[in-house]
Amino acid sequence: MKRKAQAQHPMLKAGITGGIGSGKTTVCKMFEKLGMPVYYADDQAKYLMQHEHFLIDQLKKNFGEDVYANGKLDRKLLAGKVFNDPARLALLNSLVHPAVFRDTERWMEEQKEKKVPYVLKEAALLVETGSYKALDKLIVVTAPLDTRVQRVSERDKTNEEEIMARVKNQLPEEEKVKLADFVITNTGSLEELEQQVLKIHEQMIEENSKLAV
Ligand code: ADP
């Protein structure tokens, strides 16, 4: 009985990614407005670094007890320890990403209760980390670099140099687009963006209905 009930409510897993300032978060808010649950991997990574004991132990072991001062992660200190050191940065990622992956799996299981047609996982480095492979569909949000830099400098009150340093850690958009099931081009108004989201939403429901037989 139970198995049948599950088959009638299959849940697709979609990933959503794009370069910094492409509009990922804005797009996710639109999906949430349509009632779709979103897992924000980058925010959740920060949460886990503060609350998941196994991860905390590993970070202390590899980067020093001092990265936690009075039980609180000293982000600046940790960032300083990996800054300009690709091997140390890779080590940090190799500890954080599996923790996020485990947490995503747990979250996805929880969402099944909601009987929604699909859920979304948002992450800036979804392709870079390979975690998109565990998902059914990939949505990539794109916008030209100059538009992205302009948007982020307004959003974060930061300068172009800092933004470009973050862009350099990300794969070029073209590479992500090659892997995408859906591409959102965020060069117009928010209304135009919403139209694209709605279209994908309908297609995802359609994809889901093919499974529910
Ligand atoms: P990301 O999560 O990919 O870094 P955001 O969704 O935070 O990007 O978007 C970056 C900034 O640009 C935000 O301040 C957002 O409000 C703004 N923005 C995104 N898309 C549009 C758009 N189509 N028109 C105007 N502003 C936009």
**Every domain of the chain and the residues it spans:** 10-37+120-213, 42-113
What pLDDT does residue 58 have?
97
d(CA 149, CA 20): 8
What pLDDT does residue 65 have?
95
Assign domain 42-113 to a CATH class.
Answer: alpha beta
Q: Do domains 10-37+120-213 and 42-113 have the same CATH topology?
A: yes
d(CA 15, CA 198): 16
The mean pLDDT value for 100-106 works out to: 95
Atom of ligand 1 nearest to the CA of 155: 14
Reported confidence tier of residue 5, pLDDT bands at 50, 70, 90 = very low
What pLDDT does residue 7 have?
57
What pLDDT does residue 13 have?
98
- Binding site membership of 170 for ligand 1 (Cβ less than 6 Å): no
Fold of 10-37+120-213: Rossmann fold (3.40.50)
d(CA 4, CA 210): 15
| H, E, C per residue of 116-173 | CCEEEEECCCCCCCCHHHHCCEEEEEECCHHHHHHHHHHHHCCCHHHHHHHHHCCCCH
- Binding site membership of 196 for ligand 1 (Cβ less than 6 Å): no
Amino acid at 49: M
Reported confidence tier of residue 84, pLDDT bands at 50, 70, 90 = confident
d(CA 187, CA 142): 8
CA torsion, points 199, 202, 206, 212, in degrees to nearest 10? Answer: 150
- Binding site membership of 151 for ligand 1 (Cβ less than 6 Å): yes
Name which of 56, 139, 65, 41 is nearest 95 in CA terms.
56
What pLDDT does residue 213 have?
66
- In Å, what is the CA distance from 150 to each residue of 11, 48, 58, 142, 192? 37, 31, 37, 14, 19
Task: Please state the pTM of the whole predicted model.
Answer: 0.92
Reply yes or no on whether the pLDDT at 4 is more than 70.
no
Reported confidence tier of residue 1, pLDDT bands at 50, 70, 90 = very low
Reply yes or no on whether the pLDDT at 116 is more than 60.
yes
Counting ligand 1 atoms within 8 A of each CB, the residue from 24, 25, 26 with the most, and so the one to mutate, is 26
- Binding site membership of 28 for ligand 1 (Cβ less than 6 Å): no
